[in-house]
Structure 1
């Protein structure tokens, strides 16, 4: 894939300005119906090692096809600051995507979409940067509140709201009794459409299968650096 370079801000203030500008370009409309070729992305890092990112090229009818990998040395990483992790992880994600033999139709990321204090989590940031439909599936809540308690049954979903009451996505129970996932649209997909897409993905455990594979591959790639 031929991808545009990712800007590296020189300060937190510059990163904040970039986030605010890019958040205005997020489009919360569109459907992922008909998408077959997906890139599922996850990253892993341990102090003293490079940050490792993987992109699993996943065909929704045939399963995983290829794994791309990206590495960024620890000394080259943007500082770890909650709410600004896309500046830290995105350069490695772009390397991983460049390694894929085919361009995906959409992105699925371990992280937030618009469920972010400035409306620009990693799924939104990469989606806007690459102009691709994107969805964030996070394992923990970064921003917002649940509209009501989430039932324990598999398939249950409750809207995630901003402090002002604006919808940001959904808390989603993928399997009965497991901890919820937080699904939010990244770019070029609507809120309900993002949830419908994640619900439609094969899910054997807590994470949708494409993202579970990306998580496992990122862990293996990091361990291989030891």
Structure 2
């Protein structure tokens, strides 16, 4: 367990976020906070023994207007599960492309708050700077918590189409914004001949380190182990009766 000064601040991470009342207000929040993203390596080395990596994922039940989040912490060297936590609640924001973080942040932050250990790195099922305003879920969560963070998505964001990476595991190809020419992430082949995942830095991690972390965490499957475990756990939490 990490020392107390590595734990969430008084009131928890969730207390640092407020859901905006309108779409325009949400965009304004992104515009304000994106300048705080640090694209430098200030986190652990990929796969370092003793490093705690948290995977965060969210699932929805549209019929009940409910959202559940899970945070699963693994040891980066062994991929053994160290801790896990869930949180659930009503969906707090309407579906708007580019503003999905506002639907997921309250539950995701609450799940992180419930962990008995503090992670050294957070891997989100979503985007970091590979976002039209360069401020997807991984960046937003990283800035709010101060934790190094990475976004790993199953599909590229619609505005940027990557060059396919080579077929072998470990191949990487840049994800480029066609309008600006800016490199915003990378397509990373985590298994030979299998569809790549789309990696972008969130906060306090470089692009190269983000790709290295993902390859270290995805040893047997296409997705990082953190994402696989968090996906399974949040879906199980969503199926559980609220009264259970």
TM-score, normalising length: structure 2 = 0.86
1:27 partnered with 2:43: no
CA distance, structure 2, for counterparts of residue 52 and residue 135 of structure 1: 20
For residues 58-106 of structure 1, what are the alpha-carbon distances to aligned partners after superposition, in whole Å with 9 as ceiling and x for unaligned?
11235112211111224xx200111101111000001101110011111
Residues 32 and 189, structure 1, Cα contact 8 Å, conserved in 2: no
Q: Give the distance between the partners of 2:218 and 2:22, measured in 1 at CA.
A: 40
Shift of 1:202: 4.3
Checking the alignment, whether the CA contact within 8 Å between 1:32 and 1:194 is kept in structure 2 is: no
Aligned structure 1 segments of 4 or more residues deviating by more than 3 angstroms: none
Equivalent residue for 2:3? none
SS at structure 1 position matched to 2:61:
coil
Q: Residue 37 of structure 1 corresponds to which residue in structure 2?
A: 52
Q: 1:152 — aligned with what?
A: 167
How many residues align? The count is 223
Specify every segment of 5 or more residues in structure 1 that has no aligned partner in the other structure, as ranges.
Answer: none
Residue 191 (str. 1) matches residue 203 (str. 2): no
Deviations 1:161-189 (A, max 9, x none): 11211111110111122221000000011
State the match for 2:195 in structure 1.
179
Q: Secondary structure at the match of 2:36?
A: coil
Mapped partners of 2:184, 2:241: distance in 1: 37
Structure 1 segment 86-165 matched on structure 2, within 5 A: 86-142=101-157, 143-146=159-162, 148-163=163-178, 164-165=180-181
Task: Note the alpha carbon deviations across 1:118-171, whole angstroms, 9 max, x for none.
Answer: 00000000000111110000011114222x332222221101111211111110
Q: Is this contact kept in 1: 2:54–2:72, CA < 8 A?
A: yes
Match of 2:94 in 1: 79
Give me the whole-angstrom Cα distance separating, in 2, the residues matched to 1:79 and 1:139.
Answer: 22
2:84 is matched with which residue: 67, 70, 78? Answer: 67
Moved more, 10-19 or 60-69: 60-69
Mapped to 2, the partners of 1:214 and 1:45 lie a distance apart of 14
Whole-angstrom distance in 1 between the partners of 2:124 and 2:97: 17
The runs of 5 or more residues in structure 2 that have no matched partner are: 1-7
Q: Matched residue of 1:200: which SS?
A: helix
Distance 1:202 1:139 in 2: 13
Over the residues paired in the alignment, what is the CA RMSD in angstroms?
Answer: 1.6
Q: Distance in 1 between matches of 2:203 and 2:142?
A: 5
Provide the rounded CA distance (Å) in 1 between the counterparts of 2:241 and 2:203.
Answer: 33
